[in-house]
Copies of this chain bind each other. A is one copy, B any other.
Amino acid sequence: MAPLCPKFEKAMQLFSKRWVGLVLSELLKGERRFSEMEADLPISGRLLSDRLKLLEKEGIVNRKVYSEFPVRIEYSLTEKGKALEPVIREIEDWAEKWVTLECEK
Interface residues of A, Cβ cutoff 8 Å to B: 1-2, 4-12, 15-22, 25, 29, 36, 39-41, 80, 83-84, 86-87, 90-99, 101
Contact residues of A: prevailing secondary structure: helix
10 closest Cβ pairs, A-B complex:
A11-B95, A7-B99, A7-B95, A12-B21, A87-B90, A8-B95, A86-B90, A16-B18, A80-B98, A90-B90
A43 to chain B, nearest CB (A): 11
CB-nearest residue of chain B to A104: B7
Distance of A34 Cα from B12 Cα, bound (Å)? 21
| Contact B80 A12, beta carbon cutoff 8 Å | no
A72 to chain B, nearest CB (A): 17
A34 to chain B, nearest CB (A): 14
Distance of A2 Cα from B17 Cα, bound (Å)? 24
